[in-house]
């Protein structure tokens, strides 16, 4: 089963994709995580992508397509996968069709969340150097600017700042949202799920759609 999770940044695609991937026993492939790892490691791809990501813009298709095609060629993806963050443009979707034929996918899941909630979610997010994640409203660190799990300082990612988040939403509406219509026209299963609510209930709704 080859699945795509769509939705604006901060809609919970990553959280839900990990949970559904575990249920279906297929890999969760998140291009955003792969790009951030490349930036952290200072690879050639990371150096090219860093300034682009900090502005909230999309990394050029050729860089992302090459990285993604290498990942889905691995043995663990032979029985299927969940894509999170790819495709983000019609050009990337076309590359996926070229790779697999037809629509390139079996189903797409859209997680719907309104823009004001997205800005609140992302701009309030804080992290520490060990990867623990907090939110100033929902799950604050009990020590203020210090991680209450490991004692490391917490910080806000450059691409989580309000102005950048609004730019990311604009990019999503312009370049990625058209993918919804693109895949609705393809002969694949297509589902919409409300992304506001408990994590478990959203997962249940997605699984019920995929396995009626």
Catalytic residue among 2, 13, 50, 71: 13
**Known catalytic membership, residue 157:** yes
Alpha-carbon gap, residue 188 to 26, rounded angstroms:
19
Q: Which residue has the tokens 């999503």?
A: 172
**β-pairing, 154-155 with 125-128?**
antiparallel
Alpha-carbon gap, residue 46 to 191, rounded angstroms:
33
Catalytic residue among 2, 71, 126, 168: 168
What the block records as the tokens of 55 is 């502005």
Catalytic residue among 2, 19, 50, 88: 88
User: From residue 161, how far is each of 8, 116, 156 by CA, in Å?
Assistant: 16, 14, 7
Q: What is the largest CA-CA distance in the chain?
A: 52
**Known catalytic membership, residue 211:** no
Q: Which residue has the tokens 């998140």?
A: 30
Catalytic residue among 19, 121, 125, 126: 125
Catalytic residue among 120, 157, 166, 192: 157
**Known catalytic membership, residue 125:** yes
What the block records as the tokens of 5 is 């999770």
Q: At what angle do helices 61-72 and 44-54 cross, to 10 degrees?
A: 130
Alpha-carbon gap, residue 191 to 87, rounded angstroms:
17
The phi, psi pair for 82, rounded to 5°, reads -115, 125
Q: Which residues are catalytic?
A: 13, 88, 125, 157, 168
């Amino acid at each position: 089963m080859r699945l795509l999770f769509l939705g604006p940044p901060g809609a919970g695609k990553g959280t839900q994709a990990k949970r559904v991937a575990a249920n279906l026993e297929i890999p969760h492939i998140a291009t955003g995580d792969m790009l951030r790892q490349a930036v952290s490691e200072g690879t050639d791809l990371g150096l090219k992508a860093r300034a682009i990501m900090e502005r909230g813009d999309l990394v050029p298709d050729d860089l992302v397509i090459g990285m993604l095609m290498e990942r889905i060629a691995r043995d663990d993806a032979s029985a299927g996968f969940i894509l999170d963050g790819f495709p983000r443009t019609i050009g990337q979707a076309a590359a996926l069709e070229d790779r697999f034929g037809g629509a390139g996918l079996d189903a797409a899941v859209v997680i719907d969340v309104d823009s004001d909630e997205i800005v609140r979610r992302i701009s309030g997010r804080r992290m520490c150097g060990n990867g623990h994640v907090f939110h100033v409203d929902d799950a604050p660190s009990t020590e203020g600017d210090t991680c209450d799990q490991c004692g490391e300082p917490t910080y806000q990612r450059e691409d989580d700042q309000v102005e950048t988040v609004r730019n990311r939403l604009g990019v999503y509406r312009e370049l990625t949202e058209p993918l919804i219509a693109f895949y609705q026209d393809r002969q694949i299963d297509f589902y919409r799920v409300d992304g506001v609510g408990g994590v478990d209930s959203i997962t249940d709704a997605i699984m019920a759609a995929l396995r009626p």
